[in-house]
Amino acid sequence: MTHQFDFDLFTIGAGSGGVAGSRRAAAHGARVGICDDDRVGGTCVMRGCVPKKLLVYGAQVAEEMAEAAGFGWTIPAPSFSWPDLIAAKDREIDRLNGIYLGLLAGAGVELIEGRGRIVAPHTVEVGGRTVTAQRILVATGSHAVMPPTHGIEHAISSAEALDLPELPKRIIIVGGGYIAVEFAGIFNALGSEVTLVVRGDAVLKGFDPDVRSHLTDELVRSGVTVIANIITQQAKL
């Protein structure tokens, strides 16, 4: 490795891919730096898979209590606190963030907090600091983009849904993929009035047809309003 640069490898984006790539390079002796303008861990750990699954587990408790009588249990009227669930989720995310920070530090990877921008060959600017690297790994991932349509100022993405200060009384979820279906199940189980809007005739496009049909029926049975074939309906107006 040449030492004419500050780093042998500099990674923009400290999500799962960026952290893994940086640690592996450092394990082979490379001088590695990494930057991010958010907490280390990326979408899956900070605002995706992990926090969403924690809310799923919380919602499943409500479903299990509703079925408990059939197994001989008598449970007094329970109470639920959305803020307490969100606080517990945040504590777990903080713990995981600490683990990721420790993994980087243990591997000898230097973390520079801030948004990275490639300004010249081999050169990245991060929060006013300029660093150079023989190789630059771009691992920025992606984020939701809101379409420019009427009323979009009232819409949120799945990231904001994980941090709502209060459980919504009513919510419309646009999309029928697995993330949309999981959120529909979460909010419905916890007491929100949920409407799920999908383009096709059932949720989970691309999945097994029998699974799609059964899951759509189960969502409706549980109280979720599913509005299907929305594009076809609009085309007829």
Radius of gyration of the chain (CA): 22
pLDDT at 237: 38
* Whether residue 131 has pLDDT greater than 50: yes
What is d(CA 108, CA 102) in angstroms, rounded to the nearest whole number?
Answer: 10
Residue 77 phi, psi dihedral angles, 5° rounding:
-55, 115
User: Model confidence over 174-218: pLDDT tens digits?
Assistant: 999 999 999 999 999 999 999 999 998 999 999 999 999 999 999
Contacts 24+ apart (CB under 8 A), 159-164: 159/47, 159/48, 162/47, 162/51, 162/52, 162/55, 162/86, 162/89, 163/86, 164/82, 164/86
User: Model confidence over 134-190: pLDDT tens digits?
Assistant: 999 999 988 888 989 898 999 999 999 999 999 999 999 999 999 999 999 999 999
User: Model confidence over 100-129: pLDDT tens digits?
Assistant: 999 999 999 999 999 999 999 999 999 899
Q: Is 25 exposed, middle or buried (0-12, 13-18, 19+ CB in 10 A)?
A: buried
**Domains along the chain with CATH numbers:** 1-143 (3.50.50.60), 168-231 (3.50.50.60)
pLDDT at 144: 86
pLDDT at 77: 87
Q: Whole-number mean pLDDT of the chain?
A: 93
